[in-house]
Amino acid sequence: MEAVFSNFGEYLDAFGVTLALFAVSGLASMVLGLVLATMRVGPVSVLRGAAGLYVTVFRNTPLLVIFIFMAVAAPKLGYTFRFVEDVEIAGWNVSAYFTRACIALTLYTSAFVCEGIRSGVNSVQLGQAEAARAVGMTFLQSMRHVILPQAGRAVIPPLASVQIALAKNTSVAAVFGMAEATATMRAFNNNYADQRVQIFLLFALGYIVIVEIISFGSHMLERRAKVA
Amino acid sequence: MRRMKLGMAAVAVLLAGSLTACGEAGDDDNEGVDVDVKEDAAEDFDEGTRMRELAEEGKVTIGVKFDQPGLGFKGATDDAPSGFDVEMGKILAADLGIDPENIEWKETISDNREPFLEAGEVDLVLATYSITPERRAVVGQAGPYYVTGQQLLVRADSDIDSLDDIRGTEVCSVTGSTSLENIKAEGATPRGFDTYSECVSQVLDGAVDAMTTDGAILLGYAAEQPDDLKVVVEPFSEERYGVGYSLDHPEMCEWINETIEESFENGQWEEAFNLTLGEAGVETPEQPELDPCPAS
Amino acid sequence: MRLAGVQKHYGNLHVLKDIDLDVARGEVVVVIGPSGAGKSTLCRAINRLETIDEGEILLDGQPLPQEGKGLARLRADVGMVFQSFNLFAHKTVLENVTLGPIKVRKKSKAEAEARAKELLERVGVAHQAAKYPAQLSGGQQQRVAIARALAMDPKVMLFDEPTSALDPEMIKEVLDVMVDLAERGMTMIVVTHEMGFARTAANRVVFMADGAIVETTNPEKFFTNPESDRAKDFLGKILKH
Ligand SMILES: Nc1ncnc2c1ncn2[C@@H]1O[C@H](COP(=O)(O)OP(=O)(O)O)[C@@H](O)[C@H]1O
Ligand SMILES: [Mg+2]
């Protein structure tokens, strides 16, 4: 216990990095996943095929392999993403490592987001899309105004599990340059070999809190969607 | 990672090939130090000592690292590991009258060195095994046979040449390691990886500014790619590599220390260094002063 | 509006066989025929919810655009009423009627709502404007669906069995709205088995079977003395009920 409490600032910083990875990749994967899902159910066969291929590739590739690609292979090919280091957001300097980790997490997670949204879209009756088209809406208009709002409730539970998985998956970044919670846990373990169990429990607790917050949020959203 | 190891093995093979082609290094490079295997070594040890047992059995099991070039490294296609730790192991075995062929090399990683010694899985550990009071509470550590310290590995064209230069830069090492903590204290952003080889590739690709860990380990990597990598700055910590043995056999300490002293005197220690870590073009370090063995 | 030589297949199934059909402005055509004859497919082809393999479909002398914005505009000009209503489940009755005009016709919200209220009044569900579709009876839902189609100011209205999902007591309220529409001069293609409607409102009856138009006559003659055996046989079956 003492190992963590006497270094509590470090503990919080570590979970701060975990949360930052989660927030950025979570948001980006929702956006990319929505675009992919729209392509996948849309009328343009080239886009349908491209989105299908994307899902096949990134859903079936282990996250670790994607990380290795982004963190080890991409720099070898000359893509270090160090140019992002010139970017400053609200006094924070964006690091190339953070960027690459977020890209890896987003590439992976958006494949699952896409499938979650697609299953929600499929749960909406076909007649709704036909009625939308019959009043002259384009495909995108019908997605935006008719299909997605109705898919909303059906997509909340699957998307919540995807985001929960993402929150835990950020730990892979521990061995790709990010000093997030899991990496910091390892450092604590190295320094305080006699307190390994307590260190483990306190870090596990941090993850449990994050996941509980996500599932609480998703329940609230679901309740609201049910009322509407 | 596997690919990295293969890559290193390929480099090692090329290196060996080129050396042989030049006709240098006389005997086969893979053989390392020309050890004098003692005849009838068992006679030299008292009845009941572990050394006598090993000498009579004619074989010994030694734990080394398999992933640290220059110290203990075994490529996927290699029959036996190579490196400074390995050479020191051969010198010790030779004193027991054991031929290098009869040494069983076991891979030990940082986490299992004490358990292996305590369980008798290995007789000796020479695996970048820093001497610390905590470790000496559970196992024996004779030596040190080599003193190193945390240093920096940078690209050959890097401007970094003092600790001050790394403030505000990104430096990689193994996730959770003490080296990473130390470099953070020096004002660098720590970047943790699973293995040293991944970290080296980050340096080579320009994804980080430097890598940090014990200088000996860094020298091994620099030796593999002397045109691309170099080791800089004075060691800013002290790591004293010792030979691990089981506390069940405290008599081994004196023997290990004597054998190390002997290798200092007859030039084998220096030869072992030059053939391995010395490849990086680093001068042979001073011979360290050995700790006295605990009174038994 | 005109269909000429229209052919459509679903795999091996030939669902529309060489369909020729002219519908003049203000004309009301009732399409009748056994289940599986291809009536729905015909409606959907006219609205391009389905593509056709051959032939052409002209609206106001213009061929149907193949895809994209032009097609969306065409669909806006052709109103469609489905058997299963297909009201937007997450929108109120009023929003169902205003969504198309606002998003497709780019009308202002106020303008769209004024017009929507007028139409809802006309089909007799004005007082339900704030409710969601699920809170309405089938007959009310279908009348809202008609208002939704009318809100786009279509040139043609297609009805695909608009009353067959309704309880008998609700059929009349929907048919009354349709008769009223016919009297106001709307061009209509109506798939229905409601003889009453055909007799009062239709100018012509088209009898379809097995993907082809078998006969085209006036309603009176069709119901009393059809020419084809297929039609006689079919009428025999439905009149028994
Ligand atoms: N999407 C489809 N795929 C394959 N066959 C279809 C499809 N839609 C309709 N059909 C077939 O086409 C034929 C005509 O169907 P339809 O136009 O719905 O007939 P109707 O409305 O006159 O009952 C039927 O045999 C039906 O099974
Ligand atoms: Mg039908």
> Domain coordinates of chain A in residue numbers?
16-176
User: What tens digit of pLDDT does each residue of B227-274 get?
Assistant: 999 999 888 888 899 999 999 999 999 999 999 999 999 989 999 998
Query: Which residues in chain C are contacts of A130 at CB distance < 8 A?
Result: 49, 82, 86
Are B118 and B168 found together in one domain?
A: no
Are B169 and B263 found together in one domain?
A: no
Taking alpha carbons only, the member of B296, B1, B294, B287 closest to residue B133 is B294
* Mean local confidence (pLDDT), B67-76: 85
Q: Measure in Å the smallest separation between the Cα of C71 and chain A Cα atoms.
A: 8
Superfamily (CATH H level) for A16-176: MetI-like (1.10.3720.10)
CA–centroid distance for A169 within its chain: 9
Structural domain includes residue B86: yes
Query: Which residues in chain A are contacts of C72 at CB distance < 8 A?
Result: 133, 136-138
Q: Measure in Å the smallest separation between the Cα of A207 and chain C Cα atoms.
A: 36
CA distances from A189 to A184, A209, B248 (A): 9, 21, 28
Give a three-class secondary structure readout of chain B: CHHHHHHHHHHHHHHHHHHHHHCCCCCCHHHCCCCCCCCCHHHHCCCCCHHHHHHHHCCEEEEECCEECCCEECCCCCCCCECHHHHHHHHHHHHCCCCHHHEEEEECCHHHHHHHHHCCCCCEECCCCECCHHHHCCCEEEEEEEEECEEEEEECCCCCCCHHHHCCCEEEEECCCHHHHHHHHCCCEEEEECCHHHHHHHHHCCCCCEEEEEHHHHHHHHHHCCCCEEEECCCCCCEEEEEEECCCCCCHHHHHHHHHHHHHHHCHHHHHHHHCHHHHCCCCCCCCCCCCCCCC
Task: For chain B, give the mean pLDDT.
Answer: 83
* Mean local confidence (pLDDT), A165-192: 87
> ipTM of the predicted structure?
0.90
Query: Which residues in chain C are contacts of A43 at CB distance < 8 A?
Result: 67
* Mean local confidence (pLDDT), B128-136: 83
**A127/C82 Cβ within 8 A:** yes
Note the pLDDT of residue A90: 67
**C84/A133 Cβ within 8 A:** no
Name the residue in chain C with its Cα closest to that of A226.
C90
**B192/A183 Cβ within 8 A:** yes
Are B100 and B243 found together in one domain?
A: yes
Structural domain includes residue B19: no
- Give the separation between CA C166 and CA C185, rounded to whole angstroms: 26
Structural domain includes residue B77: yes
Give a three-class secondary structure readout of C72-123: HHHHHHEEEECCCCCCCCCCCHHHHHHHHHHHCCCCCHHHHHHHHHHHHHHH
Q: Which residue has the higher pLDDT, A117 or A10?
A: A117
Q: Measure in Å the smallest separation between the Cα of C140 and chain A Cα atoms.
A: 17
Q: Which residue puts its alpha carbon closest to atom 18 of ligand 1?
A: C40
Note the pLDDT of residue B216: 82
Structural domain includes residue B207: yes
Q: Which residue puts its alpha carbon closest to atom 12 of ligand 1?
A: C15
A110-124, B2-16, B250-264, C112-126: range with lowest mean pLDDT: B2-16
Percent of chain B with pLDDT strictly greater than 90:
33
Are B129 and B164 found together in one domain?
A: no
Q: Which residue puts its alpha carbon closest to atom 13 of ligand 1?
A: C36
* Mean local confidence (pLDDT), B187-192: 91
User: What tens digit of pLDDT does each residue of B259-268 get?
Assistant: 999 999 998 9
Are B143 and B248 found together in one domain?
A: yes
- Give the separation between CA A22 and CA B98, rounded to whole angstroms: 57
Note the pLDDT of residue B281: 64
Spatial CB neighbours of C148, under 8 Å, sequence gap ≥ 6: A135, C87, C96, C97, C100
Are B157 and B225 found together in one domain?
A: yes
Are B163 and B56 found together in one domain?
A: no
Reported pTM: 0.79
Are B110 and B197 found together in one domain?
A: no
Note the pLDDT of residue B70: 83
Structural domain includes residue B23: no
Instruction: Give the number of residues written for chain B.
Output: 296
The CATH number for B67's domain is 3.40.190.10
Name the residue in chain A with its Cα closest to that of C47.
A134
B171 within 8 A of B208, measured Cβ to Cβ: yes
In this predicted structure, the answer to whether residue B11 has a pLDDT above a threshold of 60 is no
The number of the ligand 1 atom at minimal distance from the alpha carbon of C191 is: 21
List the single residue in B134, B175, B202 with the smallest CB-CB distance to A183: B175
Structural domain includes residue B200: yes
User: What tens digit of pLDDT does each residue of A15-58 get?
Assistant: 999 999 999 999 999 999 999 999 999 989 999 999 999 999 99
In this predicted structure, the answer to whether residue B135 has a pLDDT above a threshold of 90 is no
CA of C36 to the centre of ligand 1 (A): 6
Chains near B with 3+ CB pairs less than 8 A apart are A
The number of the ligand 1 atom at minimal distance from the alpha carbon of C43 is: 17
Beta partners for residue C19, in sequence order: C6
Are B95 and B215 found together in one domain?
A: no
Q: Measure in Å the smallest separation between the Cα of A228 and chain C Cα atoms.
A: 8
Cis peptide before B144 (omega within 30 of 0): yes
In this predicted structure, the answer to whether residue B16 has a pLDDT above a threshold of 60 is no
Q: Which residue puts its alpha carbon closest to atom 26 of ligand 1?
A: C36
Domain that holds residue B253: 41-148+239-280
Note the pLDDT of residue A91: 64
> What's the count of helices (H) and strands (E) in chain A, helices before strands?
11, 2
* Mean local confidence (pLDDT), B33-48: 78
Name the residue in chain A with its Cα closest to that of B193.
A175
CA of C83 to the centre of ligand 1 (A): 14
**C/A Cβ contact: 3+ pairs below 8 Å:** yes
Note the pLDDT of residue A96: 86
Are B244 and B129 found together in one domain?
A: yes
Structural domain includes residue B7: no
CA of B139 to the centre of ligand 1 (A): 83
Nearest ligand, CA of residue C208?
1
CA of A124 to the centre of ligand 2 (A): 21
**A131/C90 Cβ within 8 A:** no
Note the pLDDT of residue A130: 93
The number of the ligand 1 atom at minimal distance from the alpha carbon of C39 is: 22
A24-33, A61-70, B126-135, B196-205: range with lowest mean pLDDT: B126-135
B58 within 8 A of B41, measured Cβ to Cβ: no
Are B100 and B158 found together in one domain?
A: no
Chains near C with 3+ CB pairs less than 8 A apart are A
* Number of domains within chain B: 2
State whether the Cα torsion C47-C48-C54-C56 is positive or negative. Answer: positive
- Give the separation between CA C50 and CA C41, rounded to whole angstroms: 7
CA–centroid distance for A164 within its chain: 8
Note the pLDDT of residue C241: 56
- Answer with the one of B232, B261, B289 that is the final residue of a domain: B232
Give a three-class secondary structure readout of chain C: CEEEEEEEEECCEEEEEEEEEECCCCCEEEEECCCCCCHHHHHHHHCCCCCCCEEEEEECCEECCCCHHHHHHHHHHEEEECCCCCCCCCCCHHHHHHHHHHHCCCCCHHHHHHHHHHHHHHHCCHHHCCCCHHHCCHHHHHHHHHHHHHCCCCCEEEEECCCCCCCHHHHHHHHHHHHHHHHCCCEEEEECCCHHHHHHHCCEEEEEECCEEEEEECHHHHHHCCCCHHHHHHHHHHHHC
With the most atoms of ligand 1 within 8 angstroms of its CB, the residue from C6, C10, C32, C190 to mutate is C10
* Mean local confidence (pLDDT), A137-144: 92
**A134/C75 Cβ within 8 A:** yes
Those residues of chain A whose CB sits closer than 8 Å to some CB in chain C are 43, 125, 127-128, 130-138, 141, 145-146, 149-150, 228
Asked if B243 is an interface residue toward chain A (Cβ–Cβ < 8 A), one would say no
**B/C Cβ contact: 3+ pairs below 8 Å:** no
Note the pLDDT of residue C86: 95
Structural domain includes residue B260: yes
List the single residue in C73, C80, C88 with the smallest CB-CB distance to A128: C88
Are B180 and B248 found together in one domain?
A: no
Ligand 1 binding site (Cβ under 6 Å of any ligand atom): C 10, 13, 15, 33, 35-41
List the single residue in A95, A96, A187 with the smallest CB-CB distance to B180: A187
Ranges of chain C with pLDDT below 70: 67-68, 240-241
Asked if A42 is an interface residue toward chain B (Cβ–Cβ < 8 A), one would say no
